[in-house]
Structure 1
Amino acid sequence: MTNPKLEQGLAIRKAVLGAAHVERSLAAADDFNKPIQELVTTYCWGEVWGNEDLPRQTRSLLNIAMLTALNRSHELKVHVQGALRNGVSKTEIQAVLMQTAIYCGVPAALESFRVASEAIKTYTE
């Protein structure tokens, strides 16, 4: 039985994060963590990112802000590169991170600037 939301989520996840990154994540999944990979792909990418009420660029900018607030550096790096892939400019990423300094705190913003700078330097399409 096929799951259309899983398939849609996989396509969106690959489009935003890059096929190589997604394939590595899925290949690294084992019996223990495979269910979370399927959940994330189905619900995060298929249901939420698959909803067309917000453009992908807006979703990327929201994720950058939220991941800064949550201090989730690994995911932030992935989503900064996804934002670039979605057509978000470096200036827009910078503006969001500047705003996080006010609402999330300067230490969180400084860490996110560090992570984003590295993500931008290592970004490949």
Structure 2
Amino acid sequence: MSDDLFDKGLQIRRDVVGKDYVDRSLAEADDFTRPMQELVTRFCWGEVWSRPGLERRERSMINLGMIAALNRPHELKLHVRGALNNGLTRDEIREIFLQVAVYCGMPAALDSFRIAREVFKEVDAGK
């Protein structure tokens, strides 16, 4: 599967969440999951993340808030790492999750802090 939007999305996706993760996700895709991987790459990353108007850093901030509010720990972990790759500091990530606590509830924020600490430990360990 290759087209301009997919290729653009693939590059952005790799830049933000990491080449190893993306390549593994695509390699592990089967007949059932491949269409979803293609849709995510083409639409989310190729169409939306490549739009002008918001920088990747800003998109990461928005994603952290939304994904924390939706209580999606797997995606949150991935996007905390992506936020760091996009230049957010740990202090900024903390502030985002404090905002989540106020507007989305303490359980969502507590889980978000726990997940972020896991990512920070992995990053510090060089994983």
TM-score, normalised with respect to structure 1: 0.96
How many residues align structurally?
125
1:82 aligned residue = 82
1:1-125 matches, within 5 Å, as 2-123=2-123, 124=126
Provide, for residues 46-82 of structure 1, a one-character-per-residue CA deviation record: whole Å limited to 9, x for no partner.
Answer: 0000112101011001111001100000000000000
| Whole-Å separation in 2 of the counterparts to 1:43 and 1:115 | 26
Structure-2 change in CA distance of 1:2 and 1:19 (3 Å): closer
Q: What is the RMSD of the two structures over their aligned residues, measured on CA atoms?
A: 1.3
- SS of aligned partner of 1:77: helix
| Whole-Å separation in 1 of the counterparts to 2:19 and 2:52 | 21
| Whole-Å separation in 2 of the counterparts to 1:17 and 1:108 | 22
Task: Note the C-alpha offset of 1:2.
Answer: 4.5
| Whole-Å separation in 2 of the counterparts to 1:77 and 1:7 | 24
- SS of aligned partner of 2:52: coil
Task: Note the C-alpha offset of 1:3.
Answer: 1.4
Q: Which 4+ residue blocks in structure 1 deviate beyond 3 angstroms?
A: none
TM-score, normalised with respect to structure 2: 0.95
| Whole-Å separation in 1 of the counterparts to 2:8 and 2:79 | 19
| Whole-Å separation in 1 of the counterparts to 2:37 and 2:53 | 24
| Whole-Å separation in 2 of the counterparts to 1:30 and 1:57 | 32
- SS of aligned partner of 2:53: coil
Task: Note the C-alpha offset of 1:120.
Answer: 1.4
Provide, for residues 57-113 of structure 1, a one-character-per-residue CA deviation record: whole Å limited to 9, x for no partner.
Answer: 110011110011000000000000000011111011000000000000011100110
Stretches of structure 2 lacking an aligned partner (at least 5 in a row): none
| Whole-Å separation in 1 of the counterparts to 2:111 and 2:40 | 25
